[in-house]
Structure 1
């Protein structure tokens, strides 16, 4: 008569569990980064605002086009173009959040109009007054709409 050999299932399950875990982790760092969901504020925002010297739209001045890209690695690229002339300013730098909810941010390396409020519900950015971070009186003139990443 043949003797039965018993293999403990607990040990076998533990070995298989270790093997499965090593197979599910990707060795490709780009693939791992893509699996991480981007924060909701990441994206491209654009609009037209009053020129740098104005606090609201003027009849004589078409203002300036603003494109702002907020990146997941806490950096930005800001492009401001005067619509009355052909002055173009491109600024890059880091983002600093001023609150835990990540709705108030500062664009580092930008001297004016660097304080921003992120309206996550409406997917918009509001440029705020320098130093006080209060809304401009003509608040609607300082909104940037969300676009594609």
Structure 2
């Protein structure tokens, strides 16, 4: 009398278990991909750079090279602002904080913890920011001197 062989049954159940595991892993991976696709980054998020007139000027002066400005806007409404005098008259200024939108269509930002040049117009079509006058929030007469372009 021959004894039944159980090895094929064990091997086939292990293989079936592996297939189930691979399928479950694949489904989990697809679910993670779907969740990642649902998290969208706001269009205004990014790093913006430009050269503006020095802090005391409302337009570019021939004798002053101006100031380099780097501004990073984060998804969680925090920012990092770095301003550096290109004439080396002042230390590099780095400010971190929160910002808020000052209108309902989210086209104007106010940088909290910044005393001057803290109002900014957001132009998503052109991928740029424009620094506005401190008190009035109006565009500077020499508006092209106050543009920060988005680095893509």
Q: TM-score, normalised by structure 2?
A: 0.76
Counting matched residue pairs gives 125
RMSD: 2.2
Residues 38-76 of structure 1, C-alpha deviations (whole Å, 9 max, x = no match): 110000000000000000000000000000000000000
Residue 79 (structure 2) pairs with residue 72 (structure 1): no
Bigger helix share: 2
Structure 1 residue 34: deviation in Å?
Answer: 7.0
Whole-angstrom distance in 2 between the partners of 1:114 and 1:46: 15
Unaligned runs of 5+ in 2: 1-26
Candidates 31, 40, 44, aligned match of 1:41: 44
Map 1:129-144; keep pairs closer than 5 Å: 129-144=133-148
Whole-angstrom distance in 2 between the partners of 1:102 and 1:53: 28
Candidates 50, 55, 59, aligned match of 1:52: 55
Unaligned runs of 5+ in 1: 1-21
Whole-angstrom distance in 1 between the partners of 2:127 and 2:139: 17
Structure 1 residue 87: deviation in Å?
Answer: 1.9
- Asked which structure has the greater CA Rg, the reply is 2
Map 1:1-149; keep pairs closer than 5 Å: 26=32, 32=35, 35-85=38-88, 87-148=91-152
